């Protein structure tokens, strides 16, 4: 008997049918992988399973008995815990307070702080990170540290089914191994896991079966996670055959003129004496572990962080301080944390897309709404945002489509230098291929691109040159042609300059 059975689930929102008859069976002790393009319905299905959304049609069965999940509390009581891709932690509370939020350790109306911290410490040790103290304020942790707290929070519910949405997105190699170890321990105890990831190699490592969604429908289920060919999975997700992820690789669009020059840029405790140039039409990739200073570097170039010393020059002109100066000089940034740093979640897509170009639509104190909508719509169609409705509220989009909205902003702006920090994080295989083609098209028009990615094959496949950062220092600056993943990893892990 299946632990969880989903039959014919339908969920509609104004103007969109997010789920249109989803079927899914999850067995005890298995890792059931859920695949699908952004907008395929994965996030909505997760919210149905977690009790956040009630389906309009269809039914859920738990151990053979039909159930209705009216709220997240109902799901937790049943034994379903959810780890969302966009973390739902409270930054101002401690690690222990976040882990037991909503089910506090209390007696006679008083919170038992010592007990909560002791249990939190055991959970963090189980996750392989005993150094994260229960009393630490969550907002002071790195993105990877916050992800680990979210995992501990899910484990604290003693769940029988754990839903994990892109759990490795902010984790480094050893942290991913720790996560997979925990997943193995859970499934050995009979706990079922619904695992969502766009990294197919992860599915091969820990998955048992795969279900594929497209346009809110189940298009493949019960597929063997280890033996089903990648081409078959991608074809189901995309509804077409995707020949290659990166292809075809250009021979280089770099032009003689220097678009961006960074000289001895330093920010204490994050990176030191970083120098490099990017020519017009060139793609420079930055590889390194989480914490190596990659994100901090691009944010400093963009003016979001203040450098202690060093200079940034755009098209031969020194860049002044602050984000406004960077935007005026033609620099755009798609940040890693798109929700907190890149988007105004409660505004429509159109206002997010035109945010950096508002002056273009202002006339005599009024905004030219029709022209604004036309320009935003053109960029959204170019990126294949689904649904391509510029009036839709950004918060209601899937993670990958939110990323596309950020990129559309800089297409409208027409920037000369584009800084991309983890641009494909949470983006499915088919949409990734579209983004890769867009990056190549922008380079062909003369846009200089700096690409930060945790996936070394992505850096090598897209870049003309590769910088390798380790502990805030550039240890390698090499042409990507002929450079192998092993060579890059040697520099990252061993710390030897190349």
pLDDT in tens, 241-292: 544 455 444 456 888 899 999 999 999 989 999 999 999 999 999 988 767 8
Q: What digits encode the pLDDT tens for the residues 101-156?
A: 877 776 666 667 888 889 999 988 887 788 899 999 998 887 778 878 888 888 88
Please give the average per-residue pLDDT across 423-436, as a whole number: 76
Q: What digits encode the pLDDT tens for the residues 187-215?
A: 998 999 999 987 778 889 999 999 999 88
Rounded CA-CA distance 351/360 in Å is: 13
Q: pLDDT above 90 covers what percent of the chain?
A: 42
Rg (CA), the chain: 23
Q: Give the residue with greater pLDDT, 45 vs 235.
A: 45
- What does the pLDDT read at residue 86? 66
Please give the average per-residue pLDDT across 428-448, as a whole number: 83
Name the burial class of residue 63, with classes exposed (0-12), middle (13-18) and buried (19+) by CB atoms within 10 angstroms of its CB: middle
Structure tokens at 120: 């939190």
- Any idea which of 220-229, 247-256, 263-272, 416-425 has the lowest mean pLDDT? 247-256
CATH H-level, domain 258-494: superfamily: P-loop containing nucleotide triphosphate hydrolases (3.40.50.300)
Determine whether domain 4-238 maps to CATH 3.30.70.360: no
- What does the pLDDT read at residue 429? 67
Could you tell me the sign of the dihedral formed by the alpha carbons of 270, 141, 85, 229, in that order? positive
Judge contact between 192 and 160, C-beta under 8 A. Answer: yes
Judge contact between 218 and 36, C-beta under 8 A. Answer: no
Confidence at 38, pLDDT banded by 50, 70, 90: low
Global pTM value: 0.61
Judge contact between 29 and 187, C-beta under 8 A. Answer: yes
Q: Give the residue with greater pLDDT, 498 vs 294.
A: 294
Question: If you average pLDDT over every residue of the chain, what do you get?
Answer: 86
At 283 the three-state DSSP class reads strand
At 196 the three-state DSSP class reads strand
**Residue 465 has what DSSP assignment?**
E
Strands 106-107 and 110-111, by their bridges, are antiparallel
Tell me the CA distances in angstroms from 331 to 192, 263, 349, 442, one per residue in order. Answer: 46, 17, 21, 14
- What does the pLDDT read at residue 247? 47
Residues of the chain with CATH 3.40.50.300: 4-238, 258-494
């Amino acid at each position: 008997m299946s632990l969880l059975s989903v039959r014919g689930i339908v969920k509609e929102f104004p103007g969109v049918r997010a789920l249109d008859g989803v079927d899914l069976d999850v067995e005890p002790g298995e890792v059931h992988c859920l695949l699908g393009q952004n907008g395929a319905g994965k996030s909505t299905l997760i919210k149905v399973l977690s009790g956040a959304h009630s389906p309009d049609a269809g039914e859920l069965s738990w151990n053979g008995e039909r159930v209705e999940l009216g709220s997240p509390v109902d799901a937790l009581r049943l034994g379903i815990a959810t780890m969302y891709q966009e973390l739902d932690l409270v930054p101002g509370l401690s690690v222990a307070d976040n882990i037991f939020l909503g089910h506090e350790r209390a007696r006679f109306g008083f919170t038992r702080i010592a007990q909560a911290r002791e249990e939190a410490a055991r959970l963090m040790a189980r996750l392989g990170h005993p150094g994260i103290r229960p009393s630490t304020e969550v907002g002071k942790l790195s993105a990877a540290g916050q992800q680990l707290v979210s995992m501990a929070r899910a484990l604290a519910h003693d769940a029988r089914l754990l839903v994990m949405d892109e759990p490795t997105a902010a984790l480094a190699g050893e942290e991913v191994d720790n996560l997979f170890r925990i997943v193995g321990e859970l499934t050995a105890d009979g706990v079922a896991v619904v695992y969502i990831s766009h990294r197919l190699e992860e599915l091969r490592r820990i998955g048992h079966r795969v279900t594929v969604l497209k346009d809110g429908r189940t298009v493949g289920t019960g597929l063997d996670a280890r033996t089903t060919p990648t081409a078959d999975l991608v074809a189901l997700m995309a509804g077409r055959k995707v020949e290659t992820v990166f292809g075809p690789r250009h021979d280089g669009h770099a032009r003689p003129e220097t678009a961006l020059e960074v000289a001895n840029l330093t920010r204490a405790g994050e990176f030191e004496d970083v120098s490099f140039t990017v020519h017009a039409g060139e793609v420079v990739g930055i590889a390194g572990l989480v914490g190596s200073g990659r994100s901090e570097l691009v944010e400093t170039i963009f003016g979001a962080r203040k450098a202690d010393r060093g200079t940034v020059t755009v098209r031969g002109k020194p860049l002044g301080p602050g984000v406004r100066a960077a935007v005026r000089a033609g620099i755009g940034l798609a940040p890693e944390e798109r929700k907190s740093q890149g988007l105004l979640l409660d505004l429509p897509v159109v206002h997010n897309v035109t945010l950096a170009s508002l002056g273009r639509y202002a006339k005599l104190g009024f905004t030219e709404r029709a022209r604004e909508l036309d320009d935003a719509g053109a960029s959204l169609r170019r990126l294949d945002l689904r649904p391509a409705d510029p009036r839709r509220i950004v918060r209601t989009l899937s993670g990958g489509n939110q990323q596309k909205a950020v990129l559309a902003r800089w297409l409208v702006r027409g920037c000369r230098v584009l800084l991309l920090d983890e641009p494909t994080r949470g983006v499915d295989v088919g949409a990734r291929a579209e983004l890769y083609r867009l990056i190549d098209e922008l380079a062909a028009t003369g846009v200089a691109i700096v690409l930060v990615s945790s996936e070394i094959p992505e850096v090598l496949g897209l870049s003309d040159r590769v910088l390798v950062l380790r502990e805030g220092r550039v240890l390698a600056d090499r042409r990507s042609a002929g450079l192998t993943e092993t060579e890059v990893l040697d520099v990252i892990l061993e710390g030897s300059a190349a």
